[in-house]
Structure 1
């Protein structure tokens, strides 16, 4: 039986998508506004993008954000993958319950609590706040997301493949690197992309753990928006939307290509 579309269903979908995406469309449109007043359309112009790339404060914040996101996502992916392997492969070891709770705690803990607790930790150990404190904080809260993604793939992994490799003389570590890792690699990449995106988007935790010279782009945008939205903010947000959209499209195309190749084998 095929589902029939009623006017109520169509209206609900239209209203829902409009509520979600109309503000984004308006933001993109007004980033090309000639006028400095973001609510008054005065003609098409790209001058705010050229001024954006001359704004050294925003460029420095963007560079800090990218570096923090790349380093934290890479480290969190390694640690999260190892944590997922430990939770799936070793179901009985002393302290497993505590370890599981520590891995998953950032998923349910409010960001304010996480940021404040990390701030108190850095102050207690006299660790100067700056680039590395923000990076460590992002590793802490993004690790659990990587662990969840990789663990969901390891649960369905056929361990007999790894056992067969070891029966043929392959050491356990080499069997994991040559057999298990290639199979779960899409999940690992997905975890890295999720951790990278979460780091780019974070404002609360970075605000607690940042210091001189470690202002991230979300912090910079928030500080300027408090004084009023400017076309430059619309321009930088439009660029972020374009980057995220491009990443999603590339990931979708790679997934379709992988599925197509798998069906043809």
Structure 2
């Protein structure tokens, strides 16, 4: 199975080119200001995270182009930061166009979901005072919501290799999307297995980020709480040294996972990409 074979290829690639870990770790630095600020003030952390999230929209296309170019080169030979800069600049416009397109799609799905929840909530509130409640409208709302979720996940599933197509196959934004859809359609089983593995890796990073946020968010004990309940609900005060230690650990783990999955996704795409004849 290509998804499993590509793990071995990725492992040998990052062993020869540990610089991939360094580049991946550098990206995580964009997320740290918000996390650290949250340890001082949750509100301040939210504003800083929002600002850096907006900045990442413009940074990510350069980063994706650069690290995928490095990973593609690293599979065959040694790679360098020069490749990162060159590939990031060469593919920036195409990747940015697709990023904005997918961002717009996410926005549409988000608005539709919010409206759907509002309509469903209004319906439940409206019929809550009645003696009889028909389950059919609720079932219809739930079914439509499920269809919207499946449509959203399908878009993510079939377009996940647009960056690889743009960088590795040297195609434009539109052709990158088309090629991603084609390789997914022609390799459904392998892509599904690959997606499960990548999702597990992403979940690990998400859990670590959540733990970091939880451990560094200041808590205030309620005055009405008993000493026993306060001890059970209050998190330990890590202090500056603890926050710095967790920050370094977060960057290292993000770098290791990010570098590996950059090589893994590239190796997998190369194994399923259409062969030019």
TM exceeding 0.5: no
TM-score category, normalised to shorter length? 0.3 to 0.5
- Higher relative CO (Cα under 8 Å, sequence separation at least 6) belongs to 2
TM-score (norm 1): 0.34
- TM-score, reference length from structure 2: 0.33
Greater helix content: 2
